[in-house]
Amino acid sequence: MAAFTIVADLLLLFFWRFNFRSYEGNENQQTYTKTHSELLPMLRPKLVEYPKVAVLLAVRNEEKLLPSCLDSLLASDYPADKLSIWIGNDASEDETLAIARAYQKKESRVLLIDIKARVGEAKAKANVVAQLVLAVEQQTDPPQLLLVTDADMQVQPNWIRGMVRSWQALPKKKEVGVVTGITLVDSSTVWGQLQRIDWLFALGMVKVASDWGMPIATMGNNKMMYLPAYRATGGYENLPFSITEDFQILHQITSNGYGFRNVVASQVVAFTQPMTSWSELLQQRKRWMHGAIRLPLPILGILFLQALFFPLVIILLFFHPLATLGLWLLKGCLQGLFILAVERKLRLSKKPKKKLIRYLALYDLYAAVLTLLTLAIYFLPIKTRWKGRKY
């Protein structure tokens, strides 16, 4: 069984090398621009046209993070008359609403809805996004592209351009309903760097599956939806409640015949804050597990084998210590090569790249502990905490 995970890691490297799909374009551009200290200068995404876009931001008790998120969105390299930023305040108990009102007052691109009730079947973030979309649809000539992110995110200036470019890129076998960017954990601490590596590994695996035509994941903090594709699902208000609303909407959109794209490129990078403690991290992973168990059986089987690798290695250490350590080392090397392959597509600048390489050796131990604890907490009969609520 442990050997299967080695084979899986080899296949990841193979398919990353020979089946990677790029949506960047810019074949004739020569000018590189610096956009973020974590990234090398990048080509400014070249667009066929500049459609209207609406950024949807569901917020709850985000007084410390909301200003930096809004500042980064307002600094986007996208025509101001084509961009609107919609904030949905989800019963915040701090100064989030006051901060949002202040931004609305000074910036015409910022619009605010104070969510007071549920619409249809939607709850939590799904309820907020559902009502924001309904508000967008009431506009004259509403935007057809809906970008969704979170208040703990900061985007680099080319993010909107990059997401739109990825949606426009040819060939299109069918209309693209969902585009997913790539999120980096923004932290220089060891704890934050290990989470960054974990995200890179996970999103790299998602990209490999996506390029084979398997819609296994999108991210609620870094995605774009085509409005007709979203509306074809009936919207969150007409879908059963799920605490993994991003997975749910991806599944519904693709089930209706729309395409999807998972993009790994510096132009669609955005930055999130790390989980601050083991408790917070495990609650996040418990929530994600609810979506993971609904994946297609082949993908679920691969993830199951990956999860079992660490418990199996611990058992085998007592019987064949040298062979087991060798197997573990081989897996760590293959895993590290794959993570570095993902990083190369993002073009991290020198300092953050050095930090990532430095902590790769620690990552395998971190992943082992996290996997075992995640399995334990998932099967415990306790509710999942999410944004101050329990589900």
CA angle 286, 244, 388 (to 5 degrees): 65
Distance, CA of 131 to CA of 108 (rounded, Å): 20
Over its C-alpha atoms, the chain yields an Rg (Å, rounded) of 21
Residue 207 pLDDT class (50, 70, 90 cuts): very high
Global pTM value: 0.91
Q: Would you say 357 and 365 are in contact if contact means Cβ atoms under 8 Å apart?
A: no
Q: What's residue 164's pLDDT? A: 97
Alpha helix ranges (H) inside the chain = 2-18, 66-74, 96-106, 124-137, 159-168, 190-211, 227-232, 245-255, 278-292, 297-317, 321-346, 350-379
Tell me the per-residue pLDDT of 345-371, one tens digit each, with 9 for 90 and over.
999 999 999 999 999 989 988 988 888
Closest CA to 379 of 274, 298, 307, 313: 307
Strand partners, 146: 54, 225
Tell me the per-residue pLDDT of 236-251, one tens digit each, with 9 for 90 and over.
999 988 888 999 999 9
Q: Would you say 197 and 339 are in contact if contact means Cβ atoms under 8 Å apart?
A: yes
Distance, CA of 144 to CA of 137 (rounded, Å): 9
Q: What's residue 386's pLDDT? A: 72
Q: What's residue 24's pLDDT? A: 77
Distance, CA of 180 to CA of 310 (rounded, Å): 30
The type of residue at 149 is T
Distance, CA of 224 to CA of 218 (rounded, Å): 9
Tell me the per-residue pLDDT of 148-172, one tens digit each, with 9 for 90 and over.
999 999 999 999 999 999 999 988 8
Distance, CA of 51 to CA of 390 (rounded, Å): 39
Residue 312: C-alpha distances to residues 2, 201, 302, 333, 371 (Å): 7, 21, 15, 18, 12
Tell me the per-residue pLDDT of 297-342, one tens digit each, with 9 for 90 and over.
666 666 666 667 777 777 777 777 887 777 778 888 899 999 999 9
